[in-house]
Amino acid sequence: KAGVTQTPRYLIKTRGQQVTLSCSPISGHRSVSWYQQTPGQGLQFLFEYFSETQRNKGNFPGRFSGRQFSNSRSEMNVSTLELGDSALYLCASSELQGTSWEQYFGPGTRLTVT
Amino acid sequence: AQKVTQAQTEISVVEKEDVTLDCVYETRDTTYYLFWYKQPPSGELVFLIRRNSFDEQNEISGRYSWNFQKSTSSFNFTITASQVVDSAVYFCALSEADSGYALNFGKGTSLLVTP
């Protein structure tokens, strides 16, 4: 199976702009979660989508939004970028397997806001 | 309130030493999952282990072993005979039954193994 892919891998944006990040989960996985990683706050959960519906949301402002398509691919959007949005954005692909579940992360998108 | 605490920020050992990374968690759920992930300098999170709350059996995988103790809410990770390739940041994470697949991560422990 192919792993989780994220595009782009690196991105530089200017304060005030908006950005869209993409995540393609492992084939057959219906859940995609997004995380933000910064040196100060560590790894923080943004939101999770399951079968095109947002199932959980972390404590982030409304500038952060996402969606999931029928093929399970997900996009994350950040509007009105701030310097503090500079981070590594990771997505995770998950699926229930019997009584357990597996979750794998993509390589991340490193966003720099100048 | 922080749900996962990794009190060790940085650990430095010499190759072949054993090292234990501590993880203490907090939850009111009776059903939950605990994880360990490794993050090498490349940045990608590598899955190491998942444990559910009903399975307190310790696990060994090669040089890696995990000790899960519900009585102390701990899920510690031991690397035996450490190697330079083990140098990375290690994260412990908790997922609660009512939170879907959302993970609460600890702050991570940076492990440096020197020759």
DSSP SS3 for A3: coil
User: Is residue A98 very low, low, confident or very high in pLDDT (cuts 50, 70, 90)?
Assistant: low
Rounded to an integer, what is the distance from CA B105 to the centroid of its chain?
10
C-alpha–C-alpha distance, residues B42 and A110, integer Å? 11
Say which amino acid occupies A105: F
CA distances from A51 to A1, A29, B13, B72 (A): 20, 9, 45, 37
Nearest Cα neighbor of B62 from B42, B88, B83 is B83
Residue, of B1 and B59, whose pLDDT is higher: B59
Name the residue with tokens 């079968």.
Answer: A51
- Cβ–Cβ below 8 Å for A104 and B47: yes
Which among A48, A56, A107 has the least Cβ separation from residue B44? A107
What local confidence, expressed as pLDDT, does residue A60 receive? 96
Q: Which long-range contacts (CB under 8 A, 24 or more apart) does A59-64 make?
A: A60/A36
Question: pLDDT digit string (tens) for A3-36?
Answer: 999 999 999 999 999 999 999 999 989 999 999 9
Sign, Cα dihedral of B14, B51, A6, A35:
negative
What local confidence, expressed as pLDDT, does residue A109 receive? 97
What local confidence, expressed as pLDDT, does residue A88 receive? 96
Q: Return mean pLDDT, chain A.
A: 93
What local confidence, expressed as pLDDT, does residue B98 receive? 76
B contact set with A (CB within 8 A): 33, 35, 37, 42-47, 50, 52, 91, 93, 99-108
User: Is residue B48 very low, low, confident or very high in pLDDT (cuts 50, 70, 90)?
Assistant: very high
Nearest CA in chain A to B107: A42
Q: Kindly list the residues from chain A whose CB atom is less than 8 angstroms away from the CB atom of residue B46.
A: 105
Which among B50, B101, B105 has the least Cβ separation from residue A48? B101
User: Is residue B80 very low, low, confident or very high in pLDDT (cuts 50, 70, 90)?
Assistant: very high
% of chain A residues with pLDDT over 90: 85
